[in-house]
A = this chain, B = another copy of it.
Amino acid sequence: MAKEVTNKVVNYSQWYNDLVVKAGLAESSAVRGCMVIKPYGYAIWEKIQATLDKMFKDTGHVNAYFPLFIPKSFLSKEAEHVEGFAKECAVVTHHRLMNDPDGKGVVVDPEAKLEEELIVRPTSETIIWHTYKGWIQSYRDLPVLVNQWANVVRWEMRTRLFLRTTEFLWQEGHTAHATREEAVEETEKMISVYATFAEKYLAVPVLIGKKTASERFAGAEDTYCIEAIMQDGKALQAGTSHFLGQNFAKAFDVQYLSKEGKKEFVWATSWGVSTRLMGALIMAHSDDNGLVLPPSLAPVQVVIVPIYKGAEELEKISERVHAIKKELEARGISVKYDDSDNVRSGFKFAEYELKGVPVRLAIGPRDLQNETIEVARRDTLEKQSYRQDGIAEAVEKLLADIQANIFKKAYDFRAENTFEVDTYEEFKARIEKGGFIMAHWDGTAETEEKIKEETKATIRCIPLDGKTEEGKCMVTGKPSAQRVVFARSY
């Protein structure tokens, strides 16, 4: 084996880090908490971006770009917003360096202090709503359906590659509407776009729900989220969509003239997913051999490895491979032919398993004779000999099968790790083993906080699936209208 990956059961956290680093997805940088996204990791992110971008455009959104910096005073305009973000801001205070008078490199030029400090955006509601004031006068200017792909910075104390980094890449949608109903509809539409993306492309099943008041986005009236379960039984919030009410419109005085000639404050939403999705993708499916990537997001879907001795044999194999490669590519399948001669094929097999390439084809001299080819699927590690004739169609079906299979596996895992619990005793025992716990809660922040303090579990969401079932709060015994989802989380 080329690179050893720590066993998942031995040390889950080290297993995750090994996958990220050894498969060449990302690494820590010289800047505290910031990562370098390496080409292989970035290629997956590009596929995520392209897929989501199309989904946003298909639902009527357009892209734009707003400044990286936010004047400090803007943050203060929405009271809860500043409360939520002030403690983790990178602050720009100067705009020039100068030579150190003592001759030791460069120092900040004290003469170049900014009149007002600038915050590196942790999210862009404030600068965007300041801008929207100029864009929106009449009901004819609404809705505004804008998305931005950008980097943001939140000064996190404890960071982990992809899951929580000081700088991360994301998209943030910011929409403006004439009515509450329309804004709520948009909020719900976008969380369902995220859910569709997660299940169809990431192959990660998600619960859709609302956050409790204490877990809401700073400045939102309602936060919708999608929650996924990882293989260690912890929950990962994979995307959020916020109904912002008129909070930002009021903070930045954005009003429109209605059809009836009345001035009204505008209704807002915002919604985002980030490079954190990469963390979900990695943790949901991978195993002790390395990554398992869903074919729909794998940069390389099929790798072909020749098994040969000597240049003559390689030439014959390569000729056949080029024809097969063409057939596969004609079906839109991305293929890499690895005929590099500096490592043995066993090394290559391990390397592509580590990188999670969904299908591996191997072809040797006997295959040439028999017109066969060895097909290995990454998800089950099964190998099988196929006829070369019709191989492209077979691989295309196999890729679809792998996509469906890893989703089903993740779905079954979630089912096996979701528990209905009725007493707090049972809850406390159960939570130690991980998983989603469906339990009754009395709806108060106090009980929520008590549970969090005592068990480190939070309410991940109040599910939207409409399944209501009256019961009694497992802690206080007070009435509850439906079960909510508890878990420990990332």
Determine the residue in chain B with the shortest Cβ distance to A39: B62
Task: Tell me the A2-54 residues at the B interface (CB within 8 Å).
Answer: 27, 29-31, 34-39, 42-43, 45-46
A368 at the interface (CB under 8 A from B): no
Main secondary structure of the interface of A (DSSP, over half): mixed
Query: Which of B29, B64, B82 has a CB less than 8 Å from the CB of A37?
Result: B64
A151 at the interface (CB under 8 A from B): yes
Inter-chain CA distance A37–B128, complex, in Å, is 12
We find that the number of chain A residues with CB closer than 8 angstroms to chain B is 64
Point out the residues of chain B lying under 8 angstroms from A150, CB to CB: 151
Interface hub of A67, A76, A108, A130 (most chain B Cβ within 10 A)? A67
Point out the residues of chain B lying under 8 angstroms from A63, CB to CB: 39, 42-43, 46
B-binding segment of A89-97, A208-216, A356-364, A370-378? A89-97
Given the interface contacts A29-B127, A106-B72, does A86 sit within 8 Å of B93 by beta carbon? Answer: no
Work out how many copies of this chain go into the complex.
2
Point out the residues of chain B lying under 8 angstroms from A89, CB to CB: 95-97
Query: Which of B27, B43, B95, B106 has a CB less than 8 Å from the CB of A134?
Result: B27
Point out the residues of chain B lying under 8 angstroms from A106, CB to CB: 72, 75-76, 82, 86
A167 at the interface (CB under 8 A from B): yes
Inter-chain CA distance A91–B91, complex, in Å, is 8
Inter-chain CA distance A30–B252, complex, in Å, is 13
Point out the residues of chain B lying under 8 angstroms from A143, CB to CB: none
Task: Assess the B131–A66 pair: CB atoms within 8 A.
Answer: no
Inter-chain CA distance A43–B67, complex, in Å, is 17
Inter-chain CA distance A39–B174, complex, in Å, is 13
A225 at the interface (CB under 8 A from B): no
Query: Which of B37, B65, B94, B99 has a CB less than 8 Å from the CB of A91?
Result: B94
Inter-chain CA distance A27–B98, complex, in Å, is 32
Point out the residues of chain B lying under 8 angstroms from A69, CB to CB: 31, 34, 90, 167
Interface hub of A63, A66, A69, A72 (most chain B Cβ within 10 A)? A69
Inter-chain CA distance A76–B100, complex, in Å, is 11
A155 at the interface (CB under 8 A from B): yes
A117 at the interface (CB under 8 A from B): yes
Point out the residues of chain B lying under 8 angstroms from A189, CB to CB: none
Task: Assess the B65–A155 pair: CB atoms within 8 A.
Answer: no
Task: Assess the A34–B67 pair: CB atoms within 8 A.
Answer: yes
Task: Assess the A42–B64 pair: CB atoms within 8 A.
Answer: yes
A71 at the interface (CB under 8 A from B): yes
A207 at the interface (CB under 8 A from B): no
Task: Tell me the A143-184 residues at the B interface (CB within 8 Å).
Answer: 146, 150-151, 153, 155, 167, 169
**Among all A-B residue pairs, the 4 with the closest Cβ atoms:** A34-B67, A86-B97, A39-B62, A76-B105
Beyond the given pairs A31-B70, A68-B167, 7 more chain A to chain B contacts, judged by CB atoms under 8 angstroms and listed by A's residue number, are A30-B131, A39-B62, A39-B63, A46-B63, A68-B153, A92-B93, A96-B155
Hey, which bits of chain A sit against chain B, CB under 8 A? Answer: 27, 29-31, 34-39, 42-43, 45-46, 62-76, 82, 86-99, 105-106, 108, 117-120, 127, 130-131, 134, 140, 146, 150-151, 153, 155, 167, 169, 342
